[in-house]
Structures are given as structure tokens and as C-alpha cells.
Amino acid sequence: MNSSIPATADSCALPTPTDAVACALPGAAPAVAGRTWESPNQQERFALLRRSKSVAIVGASNNPSRASYFVTTYLLSSSPYDVYLVNPRETEILGQPVYASLADLPVVPDIVDVFRRHDDLPGVAQEAIDVGAKALWLQLGSWNEDAAAIAEDSGLSVVMDRCIKIEHARFHGGLHLAGFDTGVISSRRQLLAR
């Protein structure tokens, strides 16, 4: 195992159910038994995040209660990625320009992180292929094996039902940035300002 990857179980659950709420899509279906697509393991997800330089968030929202807003805020403030926002109904979010489609982006994104309805996912997968993206990332609660097959058949890496914010933070020691339990136990006293 690579020593730079945190020693956590690949199937580790989030510390509490409420932690997942911030990244879950509204009305997302619960996990379904009988899924046939094989998810990338922890090392593969870590490698994908490490080699990527840019992320396009499809379905970005200007609504602070939306998961895409939370993820955008995190990626802009706590990650090394160039972040591009895609939503045909917005022009600016968090001071960043918003593009109408992936084809309108000024760069080819490494990762296309998707916050869209289930039925829209195969179309977004095709758009990601058409612009030359390297990976399709479907957010926590989002699972579409048709979209995964379309993307993988064209050579894209695919991650489904995982939050890119949570994955980045757990691999880079930043889960504490949003109040998540890091799992670190220490006897060291906290220094308080005087």
C-alpha cells in the first residue's frame, strides 16, 4: 500500500449520516443491491485525484443549500484544482464565471463532476467524451451504469456515488476543514487564544 494514502478501509462509512447530506443530491436513491459496475478502489481514486489538474462541475448552483455549491466552495478554497462551473441558467457563482456547457469551457477538464438528474447522466457522459475529459465523476447518491459504460467505453475513468470533496479531503487530511471527524485521537491540548 502506498504510504501517502491514508490507511482507511475502502468501504469505510462516513462518520455520521449527516456528513453525507452536504454532498448528496436531493432525492437521490438509496444504495441498490445488484449493482454490476465495479467501483474504482481507494488507490485508483487517489491516483485520479492526484493526476488531475482541473474539475468542471456540471450542474453548479448559486444556492448555498445545494450540494454543488458546498463542493464548489471547498474545491475553490481547499484544493489545487482549476475549477470550472457549468450551468446554462447562471452567469456567475462565487465570483467565478459559469459556462453554458462543457463545450464552452476554455480548457479540457480532467474531471467532469456531475450534479444532474439520473436521466441526464448518459448525455453528460457523452458531452464529457466529446470535449476530451479524462474522468466522469458522479456525486454521492448518483449511480447510472449506462453513463458509466458510455464513459468507460471511450477510455474515461469513472467514479460513481462518491463526493469529490469528501474523497479529496480524506486523502489530503482535510476532513476537519468542514467539521468532519478525522479519526485522529490526540492527547495534545488545544491552544486557546488569550
Structural domains for the chain:
17-26+42-178 (3.40.50.720)
Segment 37-49 mean pLDDT: 92
Average the pLDDT over 130-141 and give the result. Answer: 96
Q: How many CB atoms lie within 10 A of CB 151?
A: 27
C-beta separation of 148 from 37 below 8 A: yes
Q: Mean pLDDT for the chain?
A: 81
| pLDDT of 187 above 60 | no
User: Of all helices (H) and strands (E), which one includes residue 131?
Assistant: helix 121-131
Q: What is the pLDDT of residue 12?
A: 39
Q: What pLDDT score does 175 carry? A: 56
| pTM of the entire predicted model | 0.75
The pLDDT of residue 44 is above 50: yes
pLDDT at 23: 59
Residue 3: pLDDT over 70: no
Query: Mean per-residue pLDDT for 142-156?
Result: 96
